Amino acid sequence: MKKVFTTGQVAKICKVAPRTVSKWFDSGRLKGYRIPGSQDRRIPREQLIRFLKEHGMPLGELEEEEWHKVLLIGTEKLFTDRLKEYLPENDDFKFELANSGFEAGTLAQSFHPDTIIIDLGLGRAESIQITANLRKNDAYTTTLIIGLAGEDEADPDKLKEYGFDDIFKKPFDVALLGEKVKSIAEAKRED
C-alpha cells in the first residue's frame, strides 16, 4: 500500500491535471510537504483520503486499499451478524457472502478478499475444494483462509494440509475470530 504520493500520482487518481494538484497544495487545501532542497511536493495517503472525502470526490483505487475485505462462505446468518458487530463495515471492513462453491469462486475473483472464512458445514469436500482452488491461484497466496469446523470435521493438522491457515472448532467465541481478523488487517495496514 502506497503511503506517499507525488502530484502526478494524485492527479491521475483525481483525474485532473498535475497543475491543479499543485494549486490545491499551494493553497493549503491539500496537505503535504516539500522534499528538502527541491520544489517537489509529496502528499501522505491519509491527507489525500481526507481531501477526497471532504470534497465529495471518489476514492478510486484508494478505496480498494482502504478496506480489509472478508469473504464469508457458507456461514450462518447469526454468525455473520455477530462477526459484523466485532468488525463493523464502517470501520474499514467490507463483507461479501457466498452460499456455494461457484458463488465463492466468482466473488473471490471480483472482490479480491484479504480474509476468507469458510464454514465446513457447507460440506467438507466442497470446502476443501474451494480452498485448494484458491491456493492454486497466485493472487490468493497471502489471503488468510479460516475454516469453521464442527467437532466431527475438525482435524486442524489435516485441514491445514489442504490450505487452511487456521481452524476454529465450533462452538467458539466469535470475538476471538474477530480479533484475529482485526490483527491481520492492522498488520496489513502497517506494511
- Predicted confidence (pLDDT) per residue in 21-56, tens digit: 999 999 999 999 999 998 899 999 889 988 998 998
* Residue 120 confidence (pLDDT): 92
Q: If DSSP codes are grouped into helix, strand and coil, which group holds residue 116?
A: strand
Nearest to 27 by CA among 55, 58, 63, 2: 55
pLDDT digits (tens, 9 = 90+) for 140-189: 988 999 999 987 776 778 888 889 999 998 888 899 999 989 888 887 76
pTM of the predicted protein model: 0.69
- pLDDT given at position 66: 67
Domain end call among 46, 64, 82:
64
**Do 107 and 150 fall within a single domain?**
yes
To the nearest 10°, the Cα dihedral for 121, 125, 150, 184? -90
Q: Are 71 and 154 members of one domain?
A: yes
The β-bridge relationship of strands 68-73 and 115-119 is parallel
Q: Do residues 71 and 58 both lie within one domain?
A: no
Q: How confident is the model at residue 74 (pLDDT cuts 50, 70, 90)?
A: very high
Range of the domain at 182: 67-190
pLDDT band at 1 (very low <50, low <70, confident <90, very high): low
Are 45 and 94 part of one and the same domain?
no
Q: How far apart, in whole angstroms, are the C-alpha atoms of residue 48 and residue 31?
A: 8
pLDDT of residue 152: 74
| pLDDT value, residue 155 | 77
Pairing verdict, β 115-119 and 144-149: parallel
Q: Among all chains, which residue has been given the C-alpha cell 490450505? A: 163
Percent of the chain residues past pLDDT 70, beyond the cut: 94
Overall average pLDDT of the 107-136 stretch: 91
Mean pLDDT, range 72-89, rounded to an integer: 89
Question: Is there a single domain that holds both residue 53 and residue 74?
Answer: no
Torsion angle of the four alpha carbons 81, 67, 58, 12, in this order, in degrees rounded to the nearest 10: -160
Element (H, E) at 81: helix 77-86
Q: How confident is the model at residue 113 (pLDDT cuts 50, 70, 90)?
A: very high
For the chain, the domain total comes to 2
CB-side exposure of 187: number of CA atoms within 13 Å? 11
Per-residue pLDDT, 7: 95
CATH number at residue 132: 3.40.50.2300
pLDDT at 70 over 70: yes
Pairing type for strands 68-73 and 93-98 reads parallel
Residues 107, 147, single domain; the answer is yes
What is the pLDDT averaged over residues 61-78?
83
Decide: 36 and 15 in contact? Cβ < 8 Å: no
b/e map 10-36, b = 16+ CB within 10 Å: bbebbeeeeeebbebbeeeebebeeee
**Which of 23, 46, 64 delimits the end of a domain?**
64
Three-state SS for 85? helix
pLDDT band for position 67 (cuts 50, 70, 90): confident
- How high is the mean pLDDT of the chain? 88
